[in-house]
Amino acid sequence: MKERFYQYIQNLQDRITDAIETQEGKAKFKEDLWTRPEGGGGRTRILENGEVIEKGGVNISAVHGPLPKSMQAYFKVGDVDFFACGLSLVLHPKNPMAPTVHANWRYFEMYDKKGELIEQWFGGGQDLTPYYLFEDDVIHFHSICKRACDEHHPQFYTEFKKKCDSYFYNSHREEARGVGGLFFDYLKKDSQFSLDERYNFVTTVGDSFLEAYLPLLEKRKEMTFTPEQRTWQEIRRGRYVEFNLVHDKGTLFGLRTNGRIESILMSLPPKVQWYYNHQPKDGSKEAQMLEVLKNPRNWV
């Protein structure tokens, strides 16, 4: 399964970077191949200072070796080895009318010291972070997510949408990071689903990503905006940074397993602002966006 899934994410990385470059028209992804001393490595692709994408990364990795003590405590296991592979992407458009998007699809194995497989699971999802609310955009994104889920189980969308709203949440500010999507973790083989069925579900979601996001980028990338709207985008990007550095489990795992810092922190936007106690004006479009972040909706 690990070879099968790694081959899938290699292909998916190619498809996504090709599609984004077509939207971009000017800037290209720069590829950075790297290795991890403890075992494994990855293929990082970064696009910066484009006409459409201010900063974006579409990265894959496959790493392995002894599970560090800190992560043994996190997983509540003893001295074991691990393998983890996945694709992680974040795209920060320049235009504040276009939403930031994040996605991740991953596979994990754990072994005892004899090399026997003792655990394996999939995880991942995709979520949207707009700066201005276009309800049709959010409905489109969630509709594609729901369709991908419905191919595999009628309750998947409801369950994983709820988990997404719960996970991508800045509890220290009592507001969501964005308008959600899907989040799932520890999808193991069980009495209801084989590992192959788990694989089919996760890859269906991965295959849906471009259809979910590209129409939104294409629709919003050339809209006019004011300096004040750009400032709001950068303030909200600050909340994005806060989540990734304070709450995100993927960041934590990467840092604690001696992951590659540049690849882990590629998710951070290039231009961010923090104002002291910033509050949008009542009745403004910025206040409307904040209200949705404080009270997540059911979009489909």
- Residue 92 backbone zone (phi > 0: left; psi -120 to 50: alpha; other: beta): beta
Q: pLDDT band at 207, cuts 50/70/90? A: very high
> Where do the domains of the chain lie?
2-294
Is residue 172 flagged as an active site residue?
no
Residue 258 pLDDT > 80: no
CATH label, 2-294, candidates 3.40.190.10, 3.40.1500.10, 3.40.50.2300, 1.10.3720.10: 3.40.1500.10
Tell me: pLDDT of 195 over 80: yes
In the DSSP assignment, the letter for residue 71 is H
pLDDT band at 249 (very low <50, low <70, confident <90, very high): confident
Closest residue by Cα to residue 254 from 139, 146, 106: 106
Of 92, 102, 140, 142, catalytic: 102
273 three-state secondary structure: coil
